[in-house]
Each structure stands twice: as C-alpha cells, then as structure tokens.
Amino acid sequence: MTTELPYAVPRPPDAEPPARDRYSEGIFSHAFDDERQRLELLESLLDEHTRQRLTALGAGPGTDVLEVGGGGGSVARWLADQGARVTVTDLDTRYLDELAEIGVRVLRHDLRTDDFPPASFDLVHTRYVVVHQTDTDRAVERLVRWLRPGGVLVVEEPASFTVMESPHPGYRKVMRGFRAHLERSIGSDTGWARTLPEPLLRAGLTDVGLDARIQVVHAGGTEARWWRMNLERSREAMVAHGDVCHDDFEAAYQEMETPGFHDLALTVMTAWGRRAG
C-alpha cells in the first residue's frame, strides 16, 4: 500500500505551495507506455556505480536509508537486499508499490512540499532529482535536515556540458535543444550539477567528496537507446518552439546509428557529505 505521508508532520514553513508538477506530468511522466523500459535502461547505465558508492559510504544491515525519487525501484530493492531499512519516495509510485512486499516503505512524497521529521535517516540518496527542482539549494537543505548526526547524503546528478561541444553537428544540435527544452518545460537547472560539491558545503556537511564519470554513447548501445526515447518524447515541443527542426532529429539519429559512432553523453556528478554529529 502506498502511503501519502510517513508521519503526521505539519507542512514546514519553508515549503513551496502545492502546484502541478511539471516533471511528473511532462516528458518523464510514468504515464508513458514505455516509461518502465526507459527507467530500466537508465538503471542499467547507472546502478553499478551507485551501488559501489553507497556501499563505500556505509549502506548495509541496520541502516535507515531514504531513497528520494525512486523511479523504477532498482536502488531501493538493492538497499533492502543489503539489509537496510528502506524508505523510498516518488511523485508517482506505480513502479515502487511492489517493493512493499519485501519490507520497503513506499511513500508518495514531493521533495518540494512534503516533510520528514528531522534526523530520521542514517543515509539519504537521490539520483537525477535535484537538478529538476525549482530551488536546488533549498532541496539540498531539506535532504540534510532529514539526516541524523553522522548521517550521509549522496547526490547523483547529470551535467550536460560534455555534450554541448560535440563534433557531430546533428547530435550536438538536438542535445543543445533538449537542454533548452528541459529548462523551459520543467524548470530544470541543467548547470547545477557542475557546481557540486559546493552546495553540500553550503548546507553544512563535512567530509565532502566528489567523483565524476562521463557516459559514452555509441551506435546501438544502451545510452543511444535511452537518449532516443527522451528525444522522441520531446521532439514535437522542441520543433514547435523552434529549437530544432525534424531534419535535425533525423541527422542526429543517422549519426548515432552509424557503425563506429562514439561520442560523450552526460557527466554524472556524484557528491556526498556527512552531517556533523
């Protein structure tokens, strides 16, 4: 059963007013027929590194872990398999509800407006969530507030600077257009991840660390398939706004399908820090 809120917690004074969510209703909506497939592709690209980082930072038996924006649920399921007590949240929990069967607490919860009691968790993890918030620093401050003294926050977010200067003109143009579309349609701060780990330091965390890894897209690969799904969902809106034309999409797809094609995709910035105890 999905729970609306984990505790009877008053709405905090700094909460944004309730609003229609542009993320959950836009190109990343779970209502798309192929959304589960898109999420599974992303999980296959990111999960190995996520697991390594969470293991290194102490996720394991007896830890209370919050997974914010659980998506398809692979990270929450893995955390539960490690013996952690897991709470997983999302704006739409349709792909998470089955995790209740293995003891995961599943909550329909909005990072902007819904709260947890302070100092509820030993570890808080979020991936590809903060860049889509309207106030990124405030989102980090709320995540930190939910940590116990000594607890760790892990933030994984995409930075798009590596695709902006691609030598492939079709790919470069549609990727620049997609970045502009995210900023316009969702309000995403596509440059925020490049500033990590400074936001964690501003939020008062210590023992702060950072790593960055560049995803590579190549013909016929998982990254190329994931990108094509994102781009096709955005295509009509991007063309209508004048960012690109249909011929640009076809040129990009032709490049991406050419044997031997290799290019850079997003840079995944992973930052972590510990709440002083």
| pLDDT tens sequence across 158-196 | 999 999 999 999 999 999 999 999 999 999 999 999 999
Average pLDDT over residues 91-102: 97
Mutual orientation of helices 222-241 and 169-185 as an angle, nearest 10°? 70
Mean pLDDT (the chain) is: 92
Rounded Cα distance, 130 and 30, in Å: 18
User: pTM for this one?
Assistant: 0.91
Q: Residues 128-142: pLDDT tens digits?
A: 999 999 899 999 999
Secondary structure (3-state) at 8: coil
* Distance between first and last Cα of the chain: 35
Beta-bridge mates of residue 212: 269
Mutual orientation of helices 169-185 and 246-257 as an angle, nearest 10°? 120
Average pLDDT over residues 67-88: 98
The per-residue pLDDT for 9 is 39
The per-residue pLDDT for 22 is 63
Average pLDDT over residues 139-154: 98
Residue 2 pLDDT > 70: no
- Taken in order of first residue, the domains within the chain and their CATH numbers are 35-274 (3.40.50.150)
Q: Determine which of 13-27, 75-89, 162-176 has the lowest per-residue pLDDT on average.
A: 13-27
Rounded Cα distance, 181 and 135, in Å: 18
Distance from chain centroid for Cα 243: 24
Are 219 and 256 within 8 A, CB to CB? yes
Secondary structure (3-state) at 85: strand
Q: Residues 194-205: pLDDT tens digits?
A: 999 999 999 999
The per-residue pLDDT for 277 is 81
